[in-house]
Amino acid sequence: MWQVMSLGDVCTISSSKRIFAKEYKTEGIPFYRGKEIIEKHNGSTVSTELFISLERYEEIKSKYDVPKKGDILLSSVGTLGVPWLVNEDNFYFKDGNLTWLRSNEKIIPDYLYFWLTSDEAQNQIDSKCIGSTQKALTIEALKKFKITLPNVEVQKKIVSMIKPIELKIDINRRINNNLVA
C-alpha cells in the first residue's frame, strides 16, 4: 500500500554549521559547496578543492554531526534540486546553499535519492522555491513536500530496478566527461 507523507516525516532535513573563508586550508578534509555537489551528482571531478582542518572537522563532528554514507545533500540556492547521495566519509559542506537530508526507517536512502530526481519532486521544487534573481529552497518548504511512498520492501524492489540503469547512465556520463577533457 502506498501512502502520501510529508518529506519531513520520512527524513531529517537540516543544514550545517557555518565555516568561514578564513578557515579554508590547502589540505585536510574536503569542503563542498553547491558547485561541488552538482559536479559530484554529474559524475565530474571536483574542480575547486577546498579543505578545512582535521581539527575543525572533528570539533564539528563531536558537537553537532556530519554527513554520513546514505545521507543526501541537495542544492538549495541558485541551481535548485540537484541531489548527491553521500558515498564517502570525511568531508564537510557549506551551509545555506545545500540542504542535508537523512532518511529514517520509513524510506531507504536510494529511494529518496531517486524520488528527488523525479518529476514529482522537481515540480514541487519549482513551485515552492522563493526569490526571483537568486532562487532558493527553504528547509521548511522541503519538510512540507508530499512524497508518495510504498513500504520499504517495495522501495528496495524499485531501487533494484532503477539502480542498474542509473549506473549505466553514470558510466556513459563519465566517458563523455573524459572525452571532453
Q: Provide the residue ranges of all domains of the chain, joining segments of one domain with +.
A: 3-180
Grid cell at residue 53: 582542518
Q: How far is CA 28 from CA 48, 50, 51, 69, in A?
A: 14, 9, 5, 19
Residue segments in the chain with a per-residue pLDDT below the cut of 70: 95, 180-181
What pLDDT was estimated at residue 95?
Answer: 65
What single DSSP character describes residue 100?
Answer: E
> What share of residues in the chain are helix, strand, coil (percent, to 5)?
45, 20, 35
Class of domain 3-180: alpha beta
What pLDDT was estimated at residue 133?
Answer: 82
Calculate the CA 87 to chain-centre distance: 11
Angle at 137 between CA 122 and CA 33, to 5 degrees: 100
Number of helices followed by number of strands (H, E) in the chain: 7, 9
What does the DSSP assignment read for 142-157? Answer: HHH-EEEE--HHHHHH
How far is the C-alpha of 126 from the C-alpha of 149, rounded, in Å?
A: 21
How far is the C-alpha of 98 from the C-alpha of 136, rounded, in Å?
A: 10
